[in-house]
Amino acid sequence: MNSYYSYIYQTMLLHLEHYSFVPDGNVCMSISTELLDHLPYRILMSRRLHGEKCFHVYSLSSQILLMKFFSGHTLTCQQAEYQIDNECCPMCPPGNRVKTDCTEFRSTSCLPCTEGTFMNQPTGLKQCFSCAHCGKNSGLKIKSSCTFISDTVCEPLEGFYCIDSTGDGCEAAQKHKQCQPGQYISQKGTASTDTVCSDCSEGTFSDGTFESCRPHTQCDSVNLRLIKAGTASTDAECGEHSSTLMTGIVIGVIVVFMLMIGTSAYLIYYLKKKGPFKERTRNAENDAKVSFVLLLLILLNLVSVHCTLFKYMTPLFYQYFTKRNLLKEKKDQPPVKRCR
């Protein structure tokens, strides 16, 4: 059709003797009969003006077309066409690119997109688009791979959320915020939202990784003394009552010391009563009895010391380890969320 319009335009230039435009849409000119035969629209010869033939174009579209012929304006292509010079060429389908443009004698030739490129719509371009890359440095991973007719679709990595969404994909992601000590995670981060942190209330603590703040350990409740008060980020530190432990140790030492003094005093008294060593050796039987008695006294002293220490120290050690286990079990229990 474009070639046909060009032919009409050239014919007008060859046969037109004179023309003038009138504001009301009339065109007055001297025109040959041969020209009228080539015009594609109905033209009515109405009257003569100053010896010239005058005609009026009744169709508005005919007026526009005639103006284009005389002004040299180009054509408008269809939706699935692209313009090259004065030609409207058909576009290549998705997944392809233009190899050579169409001419008056042949249509557009196309080539498929190569690996790593795509074209997702009909096109008149001679290059396909490059596929996007989901780089780990950008906090992204591949959701769906690139094809010849669609681009790569990315999504955030674990622990990241999208900050630049495009359709069903993501072009940029950012790492979730880390809560500080003294804060708890009130809302976990997702692929589209960041983590939300909140401060712990009085009497509770969190190291920044808890989903709820935990209450400080009450040392009195486990019969321990407070060593260091708890803060918003740390628990209270508890320990044994030092007075109880020291009392047991002192009593044990005193008992052992008194037994040793008593045993020594008895031995001294016994030896003095028996006289000099030479006299004691005269009677072997008596010496054997003395040795047996001394050995028995030493054994009795050792047993007494052992029983005394066991009596006083065993409850202390039992109490110490029992309290430690209770404290450990309490810390290992999961925290209970409290309504605020």
Structure tokens at 36: 């009228």
Count: domains in the chain: 2
> If you average pLDDT over residues 315-323, what whole number do you get?
58
State the average pLDDT over residues 267-282: 59
**Beta carbons of 143 and 154 less than 8 angstroms apart:** yes
Sequence letter at residue 128? C
Of the listed ranges 30-39, 79-88, 295-304, the least confidently predicted one is 30-39
Last residue of a domain, one of 207, 223, 241: 241
Q: Give the largest CA-CA distance in the chain.
A: 184
Indicate whether 144 belongs to any domain: no
Amino acid 329: pLDDT: 59
Domain boundary among 97, 130, 163: 130
Q: Check pLDDT > 90 for residue 188.
A: yes
Q: How far apart are CA 109 and CA 102, in angstroms?
A: 7
| The two three-digit tokens of residue 229, written as one number | 């008060």
Give me the pLDDT at residue 261, please: 74
| Residue 159 maps to a domain | no
User: Would you say the C-alpha torsion 147, 153, 159, 163 has a positive or negative sign?
Assistant: positive
118-171 per-position pLDDT tens digit: 999 999 999 999 999 998 888 999 999 999 999 999 999 999 999 999 888 999
C-alpha distance from residue 132 to each of 56, 150, 192 (Å): 59, 10, 20
CB distance 239 to 307 below 8 Å? no
Q: Where are the beta strands (DSSP E) in the chain?
A: 18-21, 26-30, 44-49, 52-56, 81-84, 87-90, 96-100, 109-112, 117-118, 129-130, 140-144, 153-156, 160-166, 169-175, 183-187, 196-199, 204-205, 214-215, 225-228, 237-239
3-state SS assignment for residue 268: helix
- Is residue 206, in this structure, part of any structural domain at all? yes
Q: Tell me which of 82-86, 111-115, 195-199, 301-305 is least confident.
A: 301-305
Does some domain include residue 196? yes
Q: Residue 296: its pLDDT value, please?
A: 67
- Which two three-digit tokens encode residue 94? 């998705």
Cα–Cα distance, 98 to 43 (Å, whole number): 42
Position with higher pLDDT, 215 vs 278: 215
The reported pLDDT for the residue numbered 330 is 55
Q: Is residue 213 in some structural domain? A: yes
Q: Which tens digit of pLDDT belongs to each residue from 222-246?
A: 888 888 999 999 999 998 876 555 6
CATH classification of the domain holding 193: 2.10.50.10
How far apart CA 246 and CA 92 sit, in angstroms, is 95
Distance CA 334, CA 336 (A): 7
Residue 232 located in a structural domain: yes
Place of tokens 């915020």: 177
Report which DSSP code applies to 118: E
**Percent of the chain whose pLDDT exceeds 70:** 52
* Helix (H) / strand (E) containing 218: none
Q: What is the residue-wise DSSP string for 270-298?
A: HHHHH--HHHHTT-HHHHHHHHHHHHHHH
Which domain covers residue 99, as residue numbers?
Answer: 81-130
Give the residue from 98, 130, 162 where a domain finishes: 130
Map tokens 């180009």 to a residue: 74
* pLDDT > 90: percent of the chain: 39
Q: Is residue 145 part of a domain?
A: no
Whether 183 is covered by a domain: the verdict is yes
